[in-house]
Amino acid sequence: MSELRTTLVQCDLRWEDPDANCRMLEETLGELDGDQTDLIVLPEMFATGFTMNSREMAEPMDESPTVAWLRNQAVQRGCVVTGSVAVVEGGDCFNRLIWARPDGSLVTYDKRHLFRMAGEHERYAMGHERVIVELKGFRILLSVCYDLRFPVWLRQQPAPGEHFEYDALLCIANWPAPRRHPWRVLLQARAVENLCPVIGVNRVGEDAKGLGYAGDSMLVDAKGEALIDEPRDLPFVKTGTLSLADLQAFREKFPAWRDADHFTLSDGVGD
C-alpha cells in the first residue's frame, strides 16, 4: 500500500515581498527533493503574507511570477509543492491554492470561506468548488485557513455505494497566535469526524500590523493524534509519513462512517 511523505514548512514571511519570500523559501528548502518527500506544503499567501491589498498585490494568474516559481520548484525538486497565492483572473482577485505537480501541471482551489473580520470578503472573490487531488494513492481535499471552521464544507461526501470521498485533508493558513487554540483543536476535530489524516501548515512571525502567528503546524492521523506537532513559534521544516494501509485498517476496525448522516451541500443561494 502507498505511503505519502509530507513536508510541513513553517516559516516567517516578509510582508508583501514575493521576491524575498521566494528566495527565503528556496534557501529554507535547500536540497529537499523527491528522494526525500512527495509533498512540500507552504503556508497561505506564502509570497506576501495575509495581505488585504489585493488590487496592488494580486498577480495575473496566467502571468504570475509566483505561480511560475511554484511550478518551477515542483519540476526541479521532483515532488508536489503547494501553497496559496493572491491572484487576479477575470477581473476578480482570489486567494488561490496552487497544487503544482512535478510534471509542470497545476490544480487550483479558490478559498471558499473569506475571513470577514479582516475584510477578506470585500477584497477577494469566494470560491465555489471543492477540489480533491490525488497523490501516491491518497485522495486529498484542499482547504485554506478559515475554511477549517466550517465542518459541512469539509465533511466527507462519498458517492452512493462508496464509503469515503477523500483520504487526507490539507489546510494551509495564516492563523494568528491569539486564536491558536481553535486552530489546534479544529485540525484534530476535522481528522476525527472525517476518519482521515489532516495536514495543517501555518506561518510564524509578525505581519505589518504587528499581529503575531504561533505556527502550530501539525500532521494529524485519523484518530486525531499528532504525528508532527511543533507548539512553538519558530520556523521548521519537518517530514512525516502517512500510510494508506494503516488508514484503511483503522477505518475497518472503527467503522463510524457506517452511521454518518447523508446530506447534500448547496451554495447557500435561494431560487
The catalytic residue positions are 44, 111, 145
Largest CA-CA distance found in the chain, in angstroms, rounded: 53
What is the arrangement of strands in the sheet containing 218-220, beginning at the earlier edge strand?
Answer: 132-135, 138-144, 168-172, 198-201, 218-220, 226-229
Cβ neighbours around 133 below 10 Å, total: 20
Burial class (CB in 10 A: 0-12, 13-18, 19+), 1: exposed
Give the span between the Cα atoms of 41 and 201, in whole angstroms: 7
Cβ neighbours around 243 below 10 Å, total: 16
Burial class (CB in 10 A: 0-12, 13-18, 19+), 149: middle
Give the span between the Cα atoms of 231 and 75, in whole angstroms: 32
